[in-house]
Amino acid sequence: MANAIVGQSGGPTAVINASLAGVFEAAKSRGAKTVYGMRHGVQGLLKSQWVDLGEHLRDDLDIELLKRTPSSFLGSCRYKLPDAAAQPEVYEEILRILDELDVAWFFYIGGNDSMDTIYKLADYGRSVGSAIRFIGVPKTIDNDLEGTDHTPGYGSAAKFIATQMKEIIRDSLVYDMRSVTVVEIMGRNAGWLAAASALAKGPDCEGVDRIYLPETPFDAERFVEDVNDLQRRKSNVVLAVSEGVRTADGRYVCELGQALGAADAFGHKILTGTASYLAGLLASRLGTKARAIELSTLQRCASHTASRTDITEAYQVGGAAVKAACEGHTGEMVGLSRLSDDPYQCVTVLNDIHRIANREKKVPAAWITEDGAGVTDELLRYARPLIQAELTPISVNGLPRHIYLK
């Protein structure tokens, strides 16, 4: 039996290491002699940077810690392979390294850009008659991958966003004065993460008042009017806004400040955050107290509030990728297919990588309310199962314990 290799690519998530654990354990149990881990994805591989994962994941406790450790255990990259026709030497080098390591199975955990790597390597491998199997493992908090009901990583980010939003809403009501809280949520082109803020609403929480997604053109005048109306009925307003919202002519809202000439102390144009721009706009136009909160990087690394459903599925897609390679598949990505919402059931499936790579799945128009500032019950039915249950952190001395490559 030969060896396996696995890499992590693109932005990290809270559960990308659960997929790594799934690949590692399944590869071992299906007979891989050594499971290598690329440092910093294909970019590191090309520099001959890899580790023998078995030396770092020695027992069941290491696996449990790995499932609870955020960010990419192996490191990541944002490297895009060149066109094989233009630079075949890059591909020859990768195959030479893989052959030297006696690798039969190649796994890559990532989003739509990373799937481009599987796409190109599998096509090139086929063209030169390589026996190596190339399989993609889905991962992204953005939930914008085709070929899967949802992506591992999304559920935990959604749970973090909804949890923080509930706490922010409680916080926003504390003073007896008019206020607007604008919360900025990740998502440049797809509004899945901002949409998750709708999950905060329930019998113990008023919920957010408006949700602005990149899928709907943003009209600043209408926005100011609408918040003004809202504040006549309730004095404390909470808004969720995607970092990627843009105007009808395609400009990001965070660029509007720049257009007006704002520059920082170093003379650079300010990439004011979207929330901070909108809070400034509301304060200035409505004379209300307005504050901006960016959930920022915490959305992709908050493993302490990960969804158990998400961790389980992240682990499953890793294992399913190994099964696929073992059964002779190549040039495919594992996806999740939902059988039902209630009871929630999902199974793994395989997709031709050509139908996945470099595409983006957005929030369907039918799941956005007519006013463009909210989401429908369909979205809640879709997202709610993904945030269910917890995987308790292993707390040592008051803090969640992680594992890392020293």
Residues annotated as part of the active site: 142
User: Helix or strand or coil: residue 222?
Assistant: helix
Q: How far is the CB of 167 from its own copies (least distance, A)?
A: 4
Three-class SS state of 308: helix
Segment contacting its own copies by CB under 8 A, of 95-103, 164-172, 325-333, 337-345: 164-172
Strand partners, 105: 4, 133
- Using the rule CB under 8 A, which residue among 60, 204, 221, 229 binds its own copies? 204
N residues, the chain: 406
164 binds its own copies (CB under 8 A): yes
DSSP character for 193?
Answer: H
Q: Which is nearer to its own copies, 298 or 349 (CB)?
A: 298
Using the rule CB under 8 A, which residue among 29, 297, 337, 345 binds its own copies? Answer: 297
Which of 34, 71, 114, 140 forms a contact with its own copies (CB under 8 A)? Answer: 71
Min dist. Cβ of residue 351 to its own copies (A): 26
Closest approach of Cβ 135 to its own copies, in Å? 22
Closer by beta carbon to its own copies, 328 or else 340: 340
Cβ proximity to its own copies: between 110 and 331 the closer is 110
* Residue 300 contacts its own copies per CB under 8 A: yes
Give residues with Cβ within 8 angstroms of 167, minimum separation 6.
none
Residue from 78, 222, 234, 354 binding its own copies (CB under 8 A): 78
CB distance 152 to 322 below 8 Å: no
Q: Are 3 and 33 in contact (CB under 8 A)?
A: yes
Q: Nearest Cα to 209, choosing from 243, 178, 181, 167?
A: 181
- Report CA-CA distances (Å) from 142 to 27, 219, 225, 340, 400: 28, 24, 30, 22, 25
- Among 7, 12, 152, 318, interactor with its own copies by CB under 8 A: 12
What one-letter code names the amino acid at 93?
Answer: E
22-51 residues near its own copies, rule: CB under 8 A:
39-40, 43-44
Cβ 190 vs Cβ 362: under 8 Å: yes
Least Å distance between CB 24 and its own copies?
Answer: 18
H or E element that contains 221 = helix 220-233
CA distance 184 to 164: 12
CA distance 238 to 165: 9
Question: Residue 278 CB, nearest distance to its own copies (Å)?
Answer: 11
| 233 part of the interface to its own copies, by CB under 8 A | no
Segment near its own copies (CB under 8 A); pick from 142-150, 250-258, 341-349, 366-374: 250-258
| 92/175 with CB nearer its own copies | 175
**Residue 224 makes contact with its own copies by CB under 8 A:** no
Q: Which residues contact 60 (CB under 8 A, 6 or more apart)?
A: none
Q: How far is the CB of 406 from its own copies (least distance, A)?
A: 9
Cα(217)–Cα(248) distance, integer angstroms:
5
Q: Are 156 and 18 in contact (CB under 8 A)?
A: no
Please confirm whether the linkage preceding 343 is cis (ω < 30° from 0). yes
State yes or no: residue 397 binds its own copies (CB under 8 A).
yes
Within a 10 A sphere around the Cβ of 167, how many other Cβ atoms? 12
Q: How far is the CB of 324 from its own copies (least distance, A)?
A: 26
Euclidean distance between CA atoms 264 and 249, whole angstroms: 25
What part of residues 133-162 is at the interface with its own copies (CB under 8 A)?
159, 162
Least distance CB 140 / its own copies (angstroms): 14
The piece of 52-60, 103-111, 221-229, 394-402 that touches its own copies (CB under 8 A) is 394-402
State yes or no: residue 403 binds its own copies (CB under 8 A): yes
399 makes contact with its own copies (CB under 8 A):
yes
Of the candidate residues 92, 167, 225, 371, the single one contacting its own copies (CB under 8 A): 167
Q: Name the one residue in this structure whose structure tokens are 């395989």.
A: 350
How many other C-beta atoms are found inside a 10 Å radius of the C-beta of residue 47?
11
Does residue 379 interact with its own copies by CB under 8 A? no
Confirm or reject binding of residue 246 to its own copies (CB under 8 A). no
Q: Report if residue 179 touches its own copies, rule: CB under 8 A.
A: no
Q: Which stretch binds its own copies (CB under 8 A): 67-75, 84-92, 208-216, 367-375?
A: 67-75
